[in-house]
Structure 1
């Protein structure tokens, strides 16, 4: 079941509070440090309290080849899968494959839709920021998910 508009608006509002948080691999603390997964985890905590799963150690290598799509599989377990990636809506979680043949390992949150869509994300060398969901980013998009109305 896909999240309602109130949850999606809240997700965007929470994510924007993280803008400016420095990039820190495997961290998830607003204002102190986060990576792309940490941003999603932080939004989840603010919406629902505790996180649904323990997060294992992971590498920051976007070119890493894995036998399974761990991030995608986990997203399908805890978030609502949105079958279409052609239309993005505010509050949705986006999953990106940064290199052909590698595991999907980057996440962001849609902030604005319409003719100039944007998303909020963190990646190495940058603080959390809002970027245009430009064609180069859209080409890397492999999944879209919604926060559930009720957590696991």
Structure 2
């Protein structure tokens, strides 16, 4: 099951970045990537996301992305080993709201993750120590 998540996400690599978009090969943001993987697995989305700004509620301290993930994905215990297909939720700085998403594409000694990143589009990046330290939560598709 996790292999299909990685395969679907891999097919999005090269999609240009555009805030609030979610069309494979055309444009997406990090949430749009997760939405696209969900649509391919389940044929529809669990809910339509409301309009959102690039700051993801930082001004009000609202954990909008975390709350949505908790509604639709399966939380993974912090002590559990990471596995390909895990949805990673990141805080871009300590104390900030979680506002970036990716999908673990490879675990082990050289982990990697697929994410849509401003000015880069959808890429497969090394999950380096700075990225690892930013993980706020992990989830799996149901």
Give the corresponding residue for 1:45.
39
* Superposed CA offset, 1:83-133 (max 9, x none): 116632100100000022221000000000010000000111111000000
CA RMSD of aligned residues (A): 1.4
For residues 102-113 of structure 1, the aligned pairs below 5 Å read 102-113=96-107
Equivalences, count: 142
For residues 1-80 of structure 1, the aligned pairs below 5 Å read 7-61=1-55, 64-80=58-74
Contact 2:117 2:123 in 1 (8 A): no
The normalised TM-score by structure 2 is 0.95
Contact 1:85 1:141 in 2 (8 A): no
Give the corresponding residue for 1:3.
none
Give the corresponding residue for 2:90.
96
Corresponding position: 1:137 with 2:116: no
Corresponding position: 1:118 with 2:109: no
Runs of 4+ in 1 over 4 A off after TM superposition: none
Contact 1:119 1:131 in 2 (8 A): yes
Query: Which residues of structure 1 form unaligned runs of 5+?
Result: 1-6
Query: Which residues of structure 2 form unaligned runs of 5+?
Result: none
